[in-house]
Amino acid sequence: MNIDQLNESFAISGHISFTKGTGGLPVANISNQYADAVISLYGAHVLSYQPKGGKDVLWVSPQSAFEEGKPIRGGIPVCFPWFGGHPSISTQPVHGFARLLVWHVTDTNVTAQGETQIHLSLTDTAATKAIWDHSFKLEFTVTVGKSLNVVLNITNTGTEAFTITDALHSYFNVSDSSKIEIEGLGGEYYDGTAKDAVTKQTEPLLKLAKEENRRYFGHTADTIIHDAGFGRKVRVGKNGSKITVIWNPWEATTKNIGDIPDAGYLNFVCIEPANAYTDTTSLAPSATHIISTSIAVE
């Protein structure tokens, strides 16, 4: 659908409308009594969630590409059908192909509480099967209210089982990553900066002082970002995931990432619900897996 058709079919006065965003990519603009949000139909990518009177909770790189075929850096990218690099073919897109395709709007609505919802979907095509030869349906629901709730349903629509890894790769806007504290983590994690060495966090609060790529396993608790600079706490909940990834490239690595400013690492931290590493998902025909995250400012 073009923008006019999207507005005719799915716009809701006082809640949601569709426009061309940066790079001409179609976006849904949501505004209600609770918050404003922007969702790109390219990648089903949540770009912004800003509670009324507050700062944006999500971070998008000012150097991000906004063109088809390239990933958007920041916000909440959808990683499917694999998380990270392809397990055996290095030329395949990092974090899969779902974030590189335009999704379809299937419905919009307003809840009884005055929250705004948009529903998107993506199914297999000849192009996706050339990369990953399986039949699937992804259903993505974003609810914008006092909190931001994002739900990804993954269904095997084929006749053979498949195994996937996935994530909601959330980038959080912070005042200074070197000064925030992250609560709710603990226990053993894989350290991606130390060739997957297993170590253990014993301190109650994580403070960033270097590059981090931690993959906490068996982790299902809420995570809280304490950000004194912005005068807020951001609570990150999740379901359908036993891996929580904490990522910040820090100074040296950031200089080798073309779509993040050299000092951009100070402006974000990634806290990601994932099914990866020790928590892969196998789906029989007709089976569905659901991964979700909820984000609220306190």
Which residues are part of the catalytic machinery?
169, 272
Question: 95 with 169: CB under 8 angstroms?
Answer: yes
Contact partners, residue 61, CB within 8 Å, separation at least 6: 73, 74, 259, 260, 261, 264
Q: Which of 27, 29, 34, 2 minimizes the C-alpha distance to 13?
A: 29
Dihedral of CA 214/219/220/226: which sign?
negative
What phi and psi, each to the nearest 5 degrees, are found at residue 74? 120, -170
Q: What is the DSSP letter of 12?
A: B
Structural tokens at position 118: 């948009």
Q: Which of 151, 139, 134, 246 minimizes the C-alpha distance to 201?
A: 246
Q: In what order do the strands lie in the sheet with 16-20?
A: 16-20, 26-31, 35-40, 45-51
Dihedral of CA 31/24/136/167: which sign?
negative
* Backbone region of residue 129 per phi and psi (left: phi > 0; alpha: psi in -120 to 50; beta: other values): alpha
Contact partners, residue 75, CB within 8 Å, separation at least 6: 40, 45, 46, 47, 48, 58, 59, 60, 170, 171
